[in-house]
Amino acid sequence: APASIFSNTVLESPDQIKFTNSVNSSVEIPALYSVINLNDFKSKAQKGLDYVSPGSTVTNVKCLRITNWSETISDAFQSYLTYLRKDDITKMSSGYNVETISEKISEFSNGGFIIGKMSWEIRNDHQLKKINSVAVFDSEGNVVFDTELVNFVTNISLPENQISEFEDDNNSPVTSAVIVNQRSGSMTYSYVVEGTFGNVTHYNKVTATAIVPPYITAATNDAFFNSQTTEIISERRNVTNFSPPTDPCIYFGTGGTIANSYSAAVPFSSRVYLSNTNDRFNNGTYQVSGTNGNNWSFTFDFNVSAGPLGLGITPQQTTPDFTLSSPNFSEVRVRNHVYYYLLGNTYRALFYDDGALSINNFNILTGGNAGEVGSVNVVLPMQIAYWSYLVLYSYSNIGVSLNLSNIQYLRGDHIRQPSYNLTSTNYNIPVGQIDTIKARVTNNSQHVKLNGGNISMNVSSLNDRLTLLSPATLPLGEINTSSNKTYNFIVRGNSSGVVTPQVNISSAGWTWPVPPDVVINTIFSIDSNISVGTTGISQTSEALPAEYTISQNYPNPFNPVTGINFSIPKSGFVNITVYDILGKEIKNLVNENLNAGYYKTDFSGNDLPSGAYFYRITAGEFVQIRKMTLLK
């Protein structure tokens, strides 16, 4: 591979030969030899040589023939410059057109410029190269153009207004969703290549898109992550007549070394990794493909298998220019080998204007650990290079990366499942009394809504103790993330006994991205049994008490239900009534004849404000009042 200015051979184009011949055939004017400044020529040549080949020296600078500007030379020079700038003229983005060449020719023609045929040498401790060129000198004798020096790069610098920015675009197909499974972004980087007689700006921009399936589980077989550059721009801008004829290009990754053979190249690595390290890349045929934008397309496939210690990766092609490696289950590195390819007389794995790079079929599975959302991240470091004088110069380690971060997927087997609660306004319901049983469904997911399906009262669970007055089935509708919704079922006491109501959830689904066939079917029961009776009381023991008693309610304070135990040693009429602090009757709990025994009645303050309340028992000559506190 051409490693330096000494080892390359730049063939002269027919237009350059024509320009040289126009000087050779012109009338020599010996008096002009004293006008030209050979030291200026040598100084400019040495400046370029110091940059492209440090330690080398320009020697033996001579002018072999000199003449004035002529119409013949003008025509030949215009043809030569048009050839030299043909790519810049074709690409409008360079800002260069053929009219600017004519303006420069007119300047030379009218300014008394001199044309000389030059001979000079460049050398170092081991090499010597002789060079013949054609130079243009101004009226002061200083060189303003040379067919060889125009190729020299003298420095690399950054523009005053550096373009180095990342633009992120969330282009998820469902823009209102929390899951963003597709992202696009672009990174630009410009630098100025300074030449002997003019400068040129190398403008580089990479735009990429990455997409991951929005819903992945541990059993998913086709959760393929794909990422591709949708645009690679590597072009010359702000071109002048005498800008160095460089050819910009880029490559991706860090930590590598450009070499003259495949075996000697150390690959440059880019990263594709999962934020949740419990998730993993899995078996599949992974692929890296694309085009370099310069008549080379490629496709490399890799057999990937998950073993006990990590991913095994085997290329399907021999000596692929792109390879894959994996430090662990949750990361795959895309490695490109930048090396000199003898058959093509160029370097592999470089990307030019209109190139493209794709990585496809990276298969993902979820693992253990909590977390509803996982994400994929792509780190694509941009390295820049350029060709000059048939030599590739890398300007790497610029520290600029195209990062597509947080490309999300829902971890389907780790969605926070709903919770359910079934309560009653009263837990002691007299026969004939109407009451409300409330079913509350809480969506605990922070990322997807519950949507669809039905909630139904299991009528058989009422066991004819309660009669359902409202519809047995209600639509669940939509329940937002981290929210709940309550569904009311109206019942009426029908016959005495204990009942445990149950509610069914059927075909409850989720919003995008959960597939429609993932549904919830479940049954849940009331938090405490309901006693249905003529008074709403229950006998707690068949033993006969020795005296009248009424216990302090428990719990106390309470919210909203508390229990009151009492005993009567002989049959008779019993009344228990609740009053507020002003003595207003709130509720009659017991008001009937009871047999001797131990009893319990419940009081619900569900519809009452917090505060102190009193309950009073009257049974025969026994009267007692106790205080209780409702604290919500």
pLDDT digits (tens, 9 = 90+) for 91-105: 755 566 667 788 888
Q: Pull the structure tokens for residue 193.
A: 């290549």
Averaged pLDDT for residues 306-333: 94
| Position 449, amino acid | K
Pick from 99-103, 396-400, 552-556, 607-611: least confident = 396-400
pLDDT reported for residue 323 = 97
Q: pLDDT, tens digit, for every residue of 357-381?
A: 999 999 999 998 889 999 999 999 9
Max Cα-Cα span within the chain: 148
Q: For the chain, how many residues are written?
A: 632
Cα 557 to Cα 542: distance, rounded to the nearest angstrom: 29
Task: Supply the DSSP string of 217-233, one letter for each residue.
Answer: -TT-S--EEEEEEEEEE
Considering only CA atoms, which of 144, 133, 110, 140 is closest in space to residue 32?
A: 140
As a whole-number percent, the residues of the chain with pLDDT over 90 amount to: 71
Cα 241 to Cα 197: distance, rounded to the nearest angstrom: 9
pLDDT reported for residue 1 = 46
Summary mean pLDDT of the chain: 90
Cβ distance 200 to 243 under 8 Å? yes
Averaged pLDDT for residues 542-555: 94
Cα 381 to Cα 360: distance, rounded to the nearest angstrom: 18
CA 273 to chain centre: 11
Q: pLDDT, tens digit, for every residue of 375-429?
A: 999 999 999 999 887 788 887 667 888 999 999 999 999 999 999 999 998 888 8
Of residues 410 and 174, the one with the higher pLDDT is 410
pLDDT reported for residue 456 = 98
Every domain of the chain with CATH number 2.60.40.1530 lies at 415-533
In which band, very low, low, confident or very high, does the pLDDT at 158 lie, cut at 50, 70 and 90? confident
Which pairing describes strands 224-237 and 356-365: parallel, antiparallel, or unpaired?
antiparallel
pTM (2 d.p.): 0.78
| Position 78, amino acid | Q
Averaged pLDDT for residues 508-532: 93
Cα 438 to Cα 486: distance, rounded to the nearest angstrom: 6
List, in order, residues 6 or more apart from 354 with CB less than 8 Å away: 232, 233, 291, 293
As a whole-number percent, the residues of the chain with pLDDT over 70 amount to: 94
Q: Pull the structure tokens for residue 12.
A: 């002269």
Q: What is the CATH number of domain 537-630?
A: 2.60.40.1930
In which band, very low, low, confident or very high, does the pLDDT at 248 lie, cut at 50, 70 and 90? very high
Identify the H or E element spanning 89.
helix 86-90
Of residues 622 and 125, the one with the higher pLDDT is 622
Considering only CA atoms, which of 343, 334, 338, 406 is closest in space to residue 172?
A: 406
CATH class of 415-533: mainly beta
Q: pLDDT, tens digit, for every residue of 72-97?
A: 999 999 999 988 888 888 775 556 66
Residue 109 phi, psi (nearest 5)? -65, -40
Asked whether residue 516 carries a pLDDT value surpassing 70, the answer given is: yes
Of residues 398 and 486, the one with the higher pLDDT is 486
Which pairing describes strands 391-411 and 215-216: parallel, antiparallel, or unpaired?
parallel
Cβ distance 565 to 598 under 8 Å? yes
pLDDT reported for residue 175 = 45
Q: pLDDT, tens digit, for every residue of 205-225?
A: 999 999 999 999 999 989 999
Every domain of the chain with CATH number 2.60.40.1930 lies at 537-630
Cα 144 to Cα 138: distance, rounded to the nearest angstrom: 7
pLDDT reported for residue 160 = 74
- β-sheet bridge partners, residue 577: 588, 616
Residue at token pair 């087997």: 413
Cα 346 to Cα 290: distance, rounded to the nearest angstrom: 17
* Highest mean predicted confidence (pLDDT) among 11-20, 477-486, 538-547: 477-486
| Position 300, amino acid | F
Considering only CA atoms, which of 362, 355, 390 is closest in space to residue 252?
A: 355
